[in-house]
Amino acid sequence: MYSEQDQPDVDLVQYEHAVQRAAHDLQRIVATLAQRYLDAFSRAADPRLLSWRALLEIEEQAFSDLGFQGRHDPAVIRAFARLSESRLPGGNPDAAVDWCRDDSHLPTVYAIVRTMVQANSGKRA
């Protein structure tokens, strides 16, 4: 994620605090966006069947949020693992998301929405 050799004049502690602030901000934005999708989807079907396409749309909207972009340095924003840059969605974007992934470096939006889906599943049971 960060290498002191890349930016020797960057304060590592300050950078980590900036990443934490951005992570909390991103979590709030993703939760708001994802809740709209999950609410709409839960009326028609099981929200655990959310498609990769919908998850990619949530990610795109979250990272495109002008407030988010304005509040955080571009280097901090680039530090987040992106679903759109991963192989997780596979070849069929309309397939249901596989919420069973448990890699240590999951894309941020995937991890946030998975937590929400699991919490909603617990309420429904």
Q: Is residue 7 part of a domain?
A: no
Q: Is residue 3 part of a domain?
A: no
Which pTM was predicted?
Answer: 0.83
Q: Is residue 97 part of a domain?
A: yes
Number of domains in the chain: 1
Assign residue 13 a region (left: φ > 0; alpha: ψ between -120 and 50; beta: otherwise). Answer: alpha
* Angstrom distance (rounded) from CA 119 to CA 116: 5
Banded model confidence at residue 47, pLDDT cuts 50, 70, 90: low
pLDDT at 19: 96
pLDDT, the chain, mean: 86
Domain containing residue 39 = 12-124
